[in-house]
Amino acid sequence: MKRNYFGTDGVRGRANSHPMTAELALKLGAAAGRYFRRDGANGHRVVIGKDTRLSCYMIENALTAGLNSTGMNVLRLGPVPTPGVGYLTRSLRADLGIMISASHNPASDNGIKFFGPDGFKLDDAAEVEIEALVDGSVDLVEPQDIGRTTQIDDGVGRYVEYAKTTFPGRGQLNGLKVVIDCANGAAYKAAPQALWELGAHVVAMGAAPNGLNINEGCGSTHPDAAAEMVVAHGADIGICLDGDADRVIIIDEKGQVADGDQFMALLAARWADAGRLNHGTLVASVMSNLGLERFLDGRGLRLERAPVGDRYVVERMREGGFNLGGEQSGHIVMTDYATTGDGLIAALQFLAAMTDTGRPVSELVRQFETVPQMLKNVRFAKGNEPLAAAPVKAAIADAEARLKGRGRLLIRKSGTEPLIRVMAEAEDEVLMREVVDGIVAAVERAV
């Protein structure tokens, strides 16, 4: 199913360059408005949230104009986490939710994510229909039917109050010192506020956005600064969110960083023990470590793998009736609580494990021994298709033959950046490095 604008997580690109221009945002707004207002009736509403990028203002205004032109009433939330948009789309009985964010990407990028009235991200079929409207023509409404725009001032507060309800009532966070790195992004208010109101001693960082510093040397993709802060302050835990707060990385009291696989293993085991892990199954992406699969298998649980991208993890969860999933990168999806990855609510679940067990983070994030895994990225120019080059195909075939029965190989093009990702797993680390480096060298020559 070919799509011209949408990738694995909405429309994304460099701000003020195609496709992330005000012109296309205007067309997307009009197309989405027409798609969700097919009955022609008035009173339809859409909520729009955003992160802290400077370009969000431009894109928000263009989207709003397009939506209003097709009769949609727009409710602007201001900076709010992506999962907050999913929650408020349902809570405010909106027909559509939109998040303006490029997640963990630098401030020079931006993106547009769409949510249906159920709070879940749109599927591929809906995105194809919206693209067809963008490339075609959209009927605009009569002057008296133009939509109205309203600022919702308590959007962050509503989300914070909901997030707090997901923390088990067996105890508050009194006595815990928490470093929270908000990546200068969408959760710069919500996350420290929720943790403080639950009783934690909060050390906030990455909470002073200026429009240009989102994800810059901070957040889940750059956890080193938070790790240093944990050690310097003698904190019990470090929590790193990304720019739109739909993913989380945990840091233990010694400053060691844990990935999403260990987090998912902890939750899966706890939920299974409590009889609340649906069908005894965790859904993760193809990137998750083989050690996670072995850990679950040893407990009589099952790992289902989905394509990379939290929306595909969620789609598989909904298809199978599963309630826990996520990605190694830190997307933790708990459909009992949220319709997408939610870094803050996931962190609260981890804190609940700490308060329940009395165990330090360093023990809780060491659930299994990882199989050696190596991931390298190769950047390429737009329009180039390095994976189609014969020498690259030959290098991949040779690597697969060498790893057969001894490991796992995954080659893919990123859906959010112009990158080829090369990942291998093998108990033999020398072999693993050789096959990854060989493929990377072939791709670099091709680009």
Active-site residue list: 103
Nearest in space to 151 (alpha carbons), one of 226, 50, 78: 78
Q: Quote the tokens at residue 179.
A: 């470093």
Q: Whole-angstrom Cα distance, residue 241 to residue 222?
A: 10
Cα–Cα distances in angstroms (integers) from residue 213 to residues 28, 198, 209, 227, 350, in the given order: 27, 28, 6, 19, 28
Burial (CB count <10 Å: 0-12, 13-18, 19+), residue 54? middle
Those residues with Cβ within 8 angstroms of residue 427's Cβ, 6 or more apart along the chain or in another chain = 371, 372, 406, 407
Those residues with Cβ within 8 angstroms of residue 431's Cβ, 6 or more apart along the chain or in another chain = 402, 403, 406, 407
Q: Whole-angstrom Cα distance, residue 65 to residue 138?
A: 13
**Torsion on CA atoms 23, 25, 26, 28, rounded to nearest 10:** 120
Q: Whole-angstrom Cα distance, residue 447 to residue 440?
A: 11
Q: Whole-angstrom Cα distance, residue 200 to residue 404?
A: 49
**Torsion on CA atoms 202, 206, 208, 211, rounded to nearest 10:** -150
